A and B are shown apart, each in its own frame.
Chain A
Amino acid sequence: MAEATPPPADAPLPATAQIGVDSWVSEADERQARHTGLWGYVARGWDRLPPAGKLALVTPAILIPFIPFVSSGNLFNYGIFILIYALLALGLNVVVGFAGLLDLGYVAFFGFGAYTYAFLSGTHSEKGHVYTHHWPAELAIPVAVVVCGVLGVFLGSTSRRLLGDYLAIVTLFFGQAFVVFTNAADPYGITNGSNGLANIDNLRFSFFGHAFTIASVRAYYWFLFGCVIVVLVLLHLLSESRTGRAWKASREDPLAAEMMGMPVNRLKIMAFALGAMIAGLAGTTFAAAQTGAFPQNFSTQVLILIYAVVILGGAGSLTGMLVGALVIIVSNQVLDSTSPPQLQRVLFYLALMVGFAWLFRSSWKKLVTVVVLTIGLGFAVHAVAAEWWPRGIHGPVTSGGFLTGAIKHWVLLPANSGRLADYAYLLAIILAVALTQLKGWWRVAIAPFLFVITVFVWENLLILQPAVTRYVLFGALLIALMATRPQGLFGTARVEIV
């Protein structure tokens, strides 16, 4: 974004639009948004960093969370999944971010890669057919990637005739057809139906006579890390190249791009194919790490997760993919039934504080008022309940570390919270939606009620089913992001040319 005549940052806007600097005028809003406050400062600094610098900053950010989590269980849960989803997000970024095509069947390529690798590296028998292949990884992975690429070309070729919504439909059904194909149709027992392909080999490489196997969790982690770096660099070079620029042009206005001589159809197919190949690579490693491939590993839930990563990070931005993967997958794994409740609490209250700060970022006075009111309201409600409804505060609390004591004194914990918690959940949604419509001090007035009820719902309903809560949160995140900041954290705001 070249600023033709950059006036000082604090200069007022010109009263009338001036000929020759209209583009500067039209970007004024965005510049205003970027220049305010701490976030603007950080954003400007980030923009000025060279790509290598950005990479250097983000790489330790991926590694740092794992220093305390050194056990292999946590490394599997967090590290490997973050890297897998980062890979997937990078691939989807090519299709959605670079080329602007909505691909809702992306998870099918992930699944194809996983199933191809699982088929080529394991033994299974079903429906009277026995399949025993034990191909080494240096053969199996390229074959899986190429198969996915061919499929990507095939799906991309449907985009020749279809635009926007219709492409979304076709790709969505392609993704569904994949699940049905592996789960139910299962011709000749290739995919082993709903039982999936289990007990497949680890990655076995043999280069120039030196053979090694990637078997431990740590080895998978470093292997995936290498893959992410390679793909990252590849995509960066690509986005700065002619192809990348052509993609961006065809994303903004396909007709104009066609006029400029870019082969738009071929570009679309290329985007699909590249995205599919990256997903295939992620799929092979995922299958090997999990030692199995099951149909529901590639369901719509996974698709929504990948989209949450891409949208949160900002479609079109590579660093955004990594950061988005970090945020979403850490939340996803923390809010899991096998995670300790302390961690879930920490995450929740952290998110709540971020919510406070975001809602009242414009005025610290309002922020302080709301925080004080919320705490006060909580104690007040608790005291009232202690007087008139003692059964309301002596219920079970999910044990969890240092916060349990504080929670016992601040939150209502009814003994039999089922129905009440459900209604409170609905009330919380209604209040949250109402809050988005209010401005100013009205918002300050309603917010404490919302936060107290939210904490009540969390302690009595959500923390008991963390695995479901996270999907609710991701759905709400998608809606909120699209309504307030469609470009995500690192993306660039786009205006659709009608």
Chain B
Amino acid sequence: MIATPQPRLGSLGGQYRHRLGSFGGLGIALVVWALYAVYFSPTQGWTFFLQLSVNGIILGSIYALIALGYSMVYGILKLLNFAHGDVYMIGSFIGFGILTLFGGALTPVMPVVLLVLIMFVVAMLGSGVLGVAIERFAYRPLRNAPRIAPLISALGVAFFLENSALLLFGAQYRNYDGYDLISYNGIHLGGDAGVFVSYLGVIVISSAVALMVALVCLVRWTRFGKAMRAVSFDREAAAMMGIDPDRVIAKTFFAGSALAGAAGVMFGLLFSQIYYLIGFLAGLKGFTAAVVGGIGSIPGAMLGGLLVGLVESWATGYLNGNVSDLVVFGILIAFMLIRPTGLLGSPALQKV
């Protein structure tokens, strides 16, 4: 029989029984892993484990923001937007452009707080507009085409964006020098030899959380959020109820792409070097996060992002930088085969 999963956007309440199973399994796996890592693995100790976990959470917030964009678009259009990673890359370049415009990381011409705020706002706006443009010109003509067509179009858009960035910006790495801009210092948890969280990391986590909270409020408590949920549930019925699906879809793309732009700026600040290919790998990881959490589900995307960040950090720390990507991909493939709807996705419906 054919199983066609019908995930729903933003079902933030209900169906706890189904969720309990996934949460339970996840919780047990995490506890077992933590115990093994701290007491039995070759590199033992709570400090190392916690340090890696903190790094993983920081990384995971970025992946969560990207995953949110994927989930929202899939929920509303049933389309995997491969170009999302490249919107993230463009966002980071826009942020870099603003940074350079206002003097650069070492000699900013305005207070750092204001500069960072402007970087975020402009990058989010720019990425949002780019996302809307992509939807309008690459996906809207294909609303009624076979499912394969928008996927290939998405591949084309991704390729186009990557190489346009290469053409316009060149192949050399650009440096945000984020630590020079903000601070090299941070919080030492547990004394000098304990876990170190840089101030930049704290900023990244808090802004990611703020954005996610804003999104949840948008989806849950505004009329637009209700329209978004309606269109993702049944587009034709929503149209009959007086909601314009085209506008709602465009605004959804804007929101998702703006989040990706913010993630791009965060990446630049944290890891400094940006170039035209960062969108590809980050897109894959964000994608994994969306699928693991349950594609189409917003809390799922956040959870998935966190998990992917943690797993990648642990894999790099305990195994090897080489295989950490393989581990992440392996988790994705395992989820797809065992539980395609992810952790928080709705259970699969049968096509009759």
A and B, direct touch (CB closer than 8 Å)? yes
Which of A's residues lie within 8 Å of B, judged by CB? 96, 100, 102, 104, 158, 161-166, 168-170, 172-174, 176-177, 180-181, 184-186, 254-255, 300-301, 304, 307, 311, 422, 425, 429, 433, 436, 461-462, 465, 468-469, 471-472, 474-479, 482-483, 486, 494-496
Residues in A neighbouring B325, C-beta threshold 8 A:
176, 180, 184
Q: Which residues of A contact B141 (CB under 8 A)?
A: 483
Q: How far is the CA of A172 from the CA of B333 in the complex (A)?
A: 10
Choose from B133, B152, B329 the contact partner of A177 (Cβ within 8 Å).
B329
On whether the beta carbons of A185 and B163 are closer than 8 Å, the reply is: no
Q: Tell me if B34 counts as interface (CB < 8 A to partner A).
A: no
Which of B51-59, B142-150, B249-257, B261-269 is found at the contact surface with chain A?
A: B142-150
Chain A residues with Cβ below 8 Å from B288 are 173
Assess the B160–A476 pair: CB atoms within 8 A: yes
B163 touching A471, Cβ below 8 Å: yes
Which residues of chain A have C-beta atoms less than 8 A from B326's C-beta?
A: 177, 180-181, 184-185
Instruction: Annotate B64-99 by CB proximity to A: 1 below 8 A, 0 otherwise.
Output: 000000000010001110000000000000000000
Asked if B28 is at the interface (CB within 8 A of a chain A CB), the reply is no
Q: Is the CB of A168 within 8 A of B142?
A: no
Residue in B147, B159, B167, B287 whose CB lies within 8 Å of A478: B159
- Tell me the bound Cα distance from A472 to B166 in angstroms: 10
CB <8 Å contact, B138 and A479: yes
A475–B336 touching, CB < 8 Å: no
Nearest-neighbour CB distance to chain B for A477, whole angstroms, equals 7
Can you report 21 residue pairs joining A to B where beta carbons are below 8 Å apart?
A: A158-B337, A165-B74, A165-B78, A168-B80, A170-B336, A174-B333, A180-B326, A425-B167, A425-B168, A433-B133, A436-B137, A468-B163, A472-B160, A472-B167, A475-B156, A479-B137, A479-B160, A482-B138, A482-B156, A483-B137, A483-B153
The digit string for B315-352, where 1 denotes a CB below 8 A from any CB of A, is: 00000011101100110110011001000000000010
Residue of B nearest to A184 (CB): B322
Enumerate chain B residues within 8 angstroms of A307, measured Cβ to Cβ.
152, 155
With contacts A162-B336, A180-B329 taken as known, whether A169 is within 8 angstroms of B156 at the C-beta atoms is no
The verdict on A173 contacting B322 (CB below 8 Å), with A469-B167, A475-B163, A483-B138 known, is no
A255-B166 contact given A169-B287, A176-B284, A177-B329, CB 8 Å threshold = no
Q: What 0/1 readout, one digit per residue, does chain B (195-217) give for beta carbons within 8 Å of chain A?
A: 00000000000000000000000
**Option from A174, A176, A255 in Cβ contact (under 8 Å) with B2:** A255
B329, A173: Cβ atoms under 8 Å?
Answer: yes
Please give me the residue from chain B that is nearest to A422 by CB atom.
B168
Bound form: Cα–Cα A308–B154 in Å: 13
B301 lies within 8 A of chain A by Cβ:
no
**Interface contact A468-B167, CB-CB below 8 Å:** yes
Determine how close the nearest CB of chain B comes to the CB of A77; give it in whole angstroms. Answer: 21
Roughly how many angstroms separate A165 CA and B75 CA in the complex, as a whole number?
A: 13
A174, B351: Cα distance in complex, Å: 28
Q: State A429–B163 Cα separation when bound (angstroms).
A: 14
Residues of chain B contacted by A494 (CB below 8 angstroms): 146
Which size class do B's interface residues fall under?
A: 35 or more
Residues of A within 8 A of B336 (CB): 158, 162, 166, 169-170
Whether B115 sits at the interface, judged by CB under 8 Å, is no
* Distance between Cα atoms of A15 and B240 in the complex (Å): 31
Complex Cα gap A462–B150 (Å): 28
Residue in A165, A433, A471 whose CB lies within 8 Å of B151:
A165
- Measured CA separation A184–B159 after assembly (Å): 24
- Give the docked Cα–Cα distance between A177 and B167 (Å): 28
Contacts of B147 in A (CB 8 A): 164-165, 496
B interface with A by C-beta (< 8 Å): 2-4, 74, 78-80, 133, 137-138, 141-142, 144-153, 155-164, 166-168, 280, 284, 287-288, 291, 321-323, 325-326, 329-330, 332-333, 336-337, 340, 351
Asked whether, in the complex, the Cβ of B145 is within 8 Å of the Cβ of A496, the reply is yes
* Residue of A whose beta carbon sits closest to that of B148: A102
Q: Contact: B323 with A184, CB < 8 Å?
A: yes
Q: What separation, in Å, do the CA atoms of A422 and B167 have in the docked complex?
A: 9
Chain B residues with Cβ below 8 Å from A176 are 284, 325, 329
Residues from chain B with a CB closer than 8 A to the CB of A469 are 163, 167
Residues of B within 8 A of A162 (CB): 336, 340
The reply to whether A102 and B2 contact each other, CB–CB distance below 8 Å, is no
**Closest-CB distance, A390 to chain B (whole angstroms):** 27
List, in ascending order, chain B residues with CB within 8 A of A422's CB: 168
Residue picked from B80, B157, B167, B323, most chain A C-beta under 10 Å: B167
Q: Which residue of B lies closest to A432 (CB)?
A: B137
| Separation of A187 and B297 alpha carbons in the complex (Å) | 37
Residues from chain A with Cβ under 8 Å of B333 in the complex = 158, 170, 173-174, 177
Q: How far is the CB of B169 from chain A (nearest CB, A)?
A: 9
Distance of A169 from chain B, by nearest CB (Å): 6
When C-beta atoms are compared, the residue in chain B nearest to A264 turns out to be: B2
Whether A169 touches B152, Cβ cut-off 8 Å, given contacts A177-B330, A180-B325, A461-B167, is no
Task: Kindly provide the distance from the CB of B76 to the nearest chain A CB, expressed in whole angstroms.
Answer: 14
Contact B2 A163 (CB under 8 A): yes
In the complex, the chain A residue whose C-beta lies closest to that of B158 is: A475
Question: Smallest CB–CB gap between B28 and chain A, Å?
Answer: 25
Would you give the shortest CB distance from A453 to chain B, in whole angstroms? 15
The minimal Cβ–Cβ distance linking B312 to chain A, given in whole angstroms, is 12
**In contact, B156 and A478 (Cβ under 8 angstroms):** yes
Roughly how many angstroms separate A180 CA and B4 CA in the complex, as a whole number? 31
Contact A161 B149, beta carbon cutoff 8 Å? no
The residue among A255, A304, A468, A479 with the most chain B CB atoms within 10 A of its own CB is A479
Rounded to whole angstroms, the CA-CA distance of A108 and B330 in the bound complex is 16
A168 to B276 CA separation, bound complex (whole angstroms): 24
Chain B residues, Cβ within 8 Å of A186: 322
Cα of A433 to Cα of B141 in the assembled complex, Å: 13
Q: How far does the alpha carbon of A96 sit from the alpha carbon of B337 in the complex, in Å?
A: 21
Instruction: Find chain B residues with CB under 8 A from A169 CB.
Output: 80, 287, 291, 332, 336
Smallest distance from the beta carbon of B161 to chain A beta carbons, Å?
8
Beyond A161-B337, A472-B160, A475-B156, whether A482 also contacts B142 by CB under 8 A is yes
Determine the chain A residues whose CB is within 8 A of the CB of B284 once the complex forms: 172-173, 176
Chain B residues in 8 Å Cβ range of A472: 159-160, 163-164, 167
A164 to B80, CA, bound (A): 11
Going nearest first, the 8 A-B pairs with the smallest beta carbon separation are A478-B156, A475-B160, A475-B159, A184-B322, A496-B146, A471-B163, A482-B153, A479-B156
Set of chain A residues within 8 Å of B167, measured between Cβ atoms: 425, 461-462, 465, 468-469, 472
Closest residue of A by beta carbon distance from B145? A486
Bound CA–CA A200/B331 (angstroms): 35
Task: Report how far A172 CA is from B280 CA in the complex, Å.
Answer: 12
How far is B335's CA from A158's CA once the two chains are assembled, in angstroms?
12
Q: How far is the CA of A461 from the CA of B70 in the complex (A)?
A: 33
Give the chain A neighbours of B155 by CB distance below 8 A. 104, 304, 307, 478
- CB of A478 within 8 A of CB of B153, answer yes
What residues of A have a CB within 8 angstroms of the CB of B163 in the complex?
468-469, 471-472, 475
A181 to B324 Cα, complex, angstroms = 11
A479 touches B329 (CB 8 A): no
Q: In whole Å, how far is B200's beta carbon from the nearest beta carbon of chain A?
A: 27
> Do A304 and B159 touch across chains, with their CB atoms under 8 A apart?
yes
Among A425, A475, A495, max chain B CB count under 10 A is at A475
Besides A475-B162, A482-B149, A496-B147, 20 other CB < 8 A contacts? A102-B151, A164-B147, A165-B78, A176-B325, A180-B326, A181-B326, A185-B326, A300-B280, A304-B156, A425-B167, A433-B133, A461-B167, A462-B167, A465-B167, A471-B162, A479-B137, A479-B153, A479-B157, A486-B146, A486-B149
Complex contacts, B340 vs chain A, CB 8 Å: 161-162, 166
